[in-house]
Amino acid sequence: MKIIGISGSIVGSKTRTAMTYTLELARKKYPDAEIELLDLADYELVFSDGRNYSDYEGDTKTVTEAIMAADAIIIGTPTFQASIPATLKNIFDLLPVDAFRDKVVSILVTAGTPKHYLMAEQQLKPILAYMKAHIVPLYVFIEEKDFHRKEIVNDDVLFRLERLVEDTVRYVDAFAGIRAAKDAEYDF
Amino acid sequence: MKQYRMDTDKGIEFGLYSIGDHMPNPHTGSMINAEQRIQEFIEASKLADEGGLDVFAVGESHQPHFTTQAHTVLLGAIAQATKNIKVASSSTVLSTSDPVRVFEDFVTLDLISKGRAEIVAGRGSRVGAYNLLGYDVNDYEELFEEKMELLLKLNNEATITWKGQFRAPLNRASILPQPIHGRLPIWRAVGGTPASAIKSGYAGVPIMVAMLGGPSINFKATIDSYRETAARNGFDPATLPVTTTGLFYTATNSQDAQRELYPHLNSGFQAIRGTGYPKQQFAQSPDPRDALMVGSPQQIIEKILYQHELFGHQRFFAQLDFGGVPFDKIARNIELIATEIMPAVKKHTANHKE
């Protein structure tokens, strides 16, 4: 199983910190899984111009191809102006419309205020649904006060992250099962 | 339809087209070399010609997984190897070519083939040609519209005076040689959306509609709005032919057709788009209302006739070599088209007055 984590911003540390924790939990629990973090701050990506993702070059090609090859994607996003950052939206724009077909996508959100709790529901999930993702319904919402000096200091968040990882992997297995059962009905 | 060298009294025309892809056969994993692939186009065109099919077309694509970049050269060889079948492009990426050279090439093809050449001009659905040949993909729309205008002018006028942004001006230029029948049939390749087809309606140019699957009815708005636009711009839609297209695979029975085709379709789409063909969607494809032309000869006949009820089109183009289909299967498909499918389709659509 290939799991890609995306840290969706090129500034700040909270989303990256939360993603590092999350993937660490995943590696411990699922040592056989291939797990990789794509921190958008480490890549120089061009803006989407509408071409097929495989026609890009350099970092843009590397990042999009890694996402397309994954079974599951854990997206970490901060909250900018009550929405996702442009850097993360650009990732979606770079990919084909059905990029997340047969893929599981789960979400963690960082934000400065609890007032942004529904941001993922209103801004992020519609995009993922359009791109045909199997979305893990529960996401983890982490506030600024849950961090201290690049560490997560709220045990509740850690337990939630653990459940997020579990849900992500279980969804991959469940949907693989559904797909296999469906495919078994076909004669081709 | 005369201007387009078509006689609709005989029923709709049946053609084969290829985008020139060159991929491994997913059933065996083996890959023929480019030489063999090129030779097989010529062999397939001969079989199609002998079977009485109306058109054979090859397009250009400047990307990995393709072989027919120099499609006009290949069409020359096909013209020489065949007798009656029309030879066309599917399509010529006009945006990254010089319309004068395109016209010269196809007129020469017309002379080689003794009046069987046609141009289908398109914009290209990928950026390969733009990168390789040095055009800015940001000029995507303007490049095509300007060059299409010039190409049509070259076809319609003897002495050309013309000015544009993407090519040196022409001052009382005459293009030689000239086609056998005065003009070449020139079509526009359009994607499935109305926006693309309407542009052809403005200019009164016939269309070939890309239809990669899904319900046939989805393309009705595209074809209807094309004809409405043409009529509003002073063209008689009854004089403008429409070509529908379909990924195509037939075998004696539907199950074999589906079993044999699916791996080609899935790995072909995986290679060029990065996403495969969903099985669930493929499972629905034998339905007569679905545009993917897979099934027994009888099912294919039903599908084409259903489309003809919807669209009243004048030509159907089958793409039967996508995703590494081996030559013996291509030959078998051509045989079933020639002996079973095409005669039935022509019989049912003959004398069909729009």
pLDDT beyond 60 at B98: yes
Residue B333: name the closest of B21, B44, B37, B66 by CA.
B44
Q: Which residues of A touch B258 (CB under 8 A)?
A: 187-188
- Tens digits of per-residue pLDDT, B293-337? 999 999 999 999 999 999 999 999 999 999 999 999 999 999 999
Q: Is B351 on the interface with A (CB under 8 A)?
A: no
Average pLDDT over chain B reads 95
Mean pLDDT (whole number) for B92-103: 97
Helix (H) or strand (E) holding A38: strand A34-39
User: Does B283 contact chain A (CB < 8 Å)?
Assistant: yes
pLDDT at site B2: 86
Q: Which residue of B has its CA nearest to A64?
A: B274
Collect all residues of chain B within an 8 Å Cβ-Cβ radius of residue A55. Answer: 63, 126-128, 131
Nearest to A96 among B63, B275, B283 (CB): B275
Contact A188/B at CB under 8 A: yes
In sign, the C-alpha dihedral spanning B251, B253, B254, B256 is negative
Interval B105-124: pLDDT, tens: 999 999 999 999 999 999 98
pLDDT computed for residue B354 by the predictor? 47
Question: Are the beta carbons of B262 and A55 separated by less than 8 Å?
Answer: no
- Tell me the ipTM for this assembly: 0.83
Which residues between 10 and 49 in chain B have a beta carbon less than 8 angstroms from any beta carbon of chain A?
none
Q: What percent of chain B has pLDDT over 70?
A: 99
Q: A183 in contact with B at a CB cutoff of 8 Å?
A: yes
Write the single-letter amino acid at B162: W
For B98-112, b where at least 16 C-beta lie within 10 A, e where not — what string?
ebbebbbbbbbbbeb
Please state the three-class secondary structure of chain B as a single string. CHHHCCCHHHCCEEEEEECCECCCCCCCCCCCCHHHHHHHHHHHHHHHHHCCCCEEEECCCCCCCECCCCHHHHHHHHHHHCCCCEEEECCEEHHHCCHHHHHHHHHHHHHHCCCCEEEEEECCCCCHHHHHHCCCHHHHHHHHHHHHHHHHHHHHCCCEEECCCCCCCEEEECCCCCCCCCCCCEEEEECCCHHHHHHHHHHCCCEEECCCCCEHHHHHHHHHHHHHHHHHCCCCHHHCCEEEEEEEEECCCHHHHHHHHHHHHHHHHHHHHCCCCCHHHHHCCCCCCECCEEECHHHHHHHHHHHHHHHCCCEEEEECCCCCCCHHHHHHHHHHHHHHHHHHHHHHHCCCCC
pLDDT on residue B126:
84
* Chain-chain contact of B126 with A96 (C-beta, under 8 angstroms): no
Question: Within 10 A of A163 (CB to CB), how many other CB atoms are there?
Answer: 14
Pairing of strands B160-162, B170-173: antiparallel
Which CATH number among 1.10.3720.10, 3.40.50.720, 3.60.15.10, 3.40.50.360 corresponds to the domain A2-185?
3.40.50.360
Contacts of B282 in chain A (CB under 8 A): 186, 188
pLDDT value, residue B181: 86
A15/chain B closest Cα distance in angstroms: 29
Please answer yes or no on whether A53 and B274 come within 8 Å at the CB atom: yes
Choose, out of B270, B275, B281, the residue to mutate when testing the contact with A (most A CBs < 10 Å).
B275
Chain A nearest-CA distance from B259, in A, is: 4
Minimum distance, in Å, between the CA of residue B160 and any CA atom of chain A? 35
Whether A188 sits inside 8 A of B138 (CB atoms) is: no
Average pLDDT over residues B37-53: 98
Which pLDDT score is estimated for B351?
Answer: 78
pLDDT of residue B196: 85
> What does the pLDDT read at residue B261?
98
Asked if B182 and B107 touch (Cβ cutoff 8 Å), the reply is no
- pLDDT value at residue A52: 92
Q: Residue A165: what pLDDT?
A: 98
Q: Is the dihedral of CA B143, B149, B153, B156 positive or negative?
A: positive
- What chain A residue is nearest to B27 in terms of C-alpha separation? A188
Q: Give dist(CA A79, CA A171) in Å, integer.
A: 26
**Per-residue pLDDT, B266:** 97
Determine whether the interchain pair B283/A186 forms a contact, defined as Cβ–Cβ distance below 8 Å: yes
Q: Which residue of A has its CA nearest to B136?
A: A49
Closest CA to A104 of A132, A126, A65: A132
| Token pair 């959100």 in the structure block, residue | A109
Give the side-chain half-sphere CA count within 13 A for B341: 33
Helix B194-203, helix B220-232: angle, nearest 10: 30
Whether B137 has its CB under 8 Å from any CB of chain A: the answer is yes
Segment B210-264, tens digit of pLDDT: 998 899 999 999 999 999 999 999 999 999 999 999 999 999 999 999 999 999 9
Judged by CB atoms closer than 8 Å, whether chains meet at A96 and B274 is answered as yes
B278 vs A contacts (CB less than 8 Å): 101
A52·B274 Cβ contact <8 A: yes
Q: What residues in A contact B26, CB-CB < 8 Å?
A: none
Nearest to A183 among B131, B138, B279 (CB): B279
pTM of the model: 0.91
**Segment B138-148, tens digit of pLDDT:** 899 999 999 99
Chain A residues closer than 8 Å to B259 by CB: 187-188
Residues 101 through 120 of chain A touching chain B, CB cutoff 8 Å: 101
Contact B274 A68 (CB under 8 A): yes
Distance CA A106, CA A99 (A): 15
pLDDT in tens, chain A (188 residues): 999 999 999 999 999 999 999 999 999 999 999 999 999 999 999 999 989 999 999 999 999 999 999 999 999 999 999 999 999 999 999 999 999 999 999 999 999 999 999 999 999 999 999 999 999 999 999 999 999 999 999 999 999 999 999 999 999 999 999 999 999 999 89
Would you state the pLDDT for residue B352?
A: 53
Pick the CATH number of B2-349 from 3.20.20.30, 3.10.129.10, 1.10.645.10, 3.40.50.670: 3.20.20.30
Residue B126 and residue A52: Cβ atoms within 8 Å? yes
The ranges assigned to domains in chain A are 2-185
Q: Which residues contact B35 (CB under 8 A, 6 or more apart)?
A: none
CB B127 to CB A188 under 8 A? no
A52 lies within 8 A of chain B by CB:
yes
pLDDT greater than 80 at residue B353: no
Subunit contact A186:B279, Cβ cutoff 8 A: yes
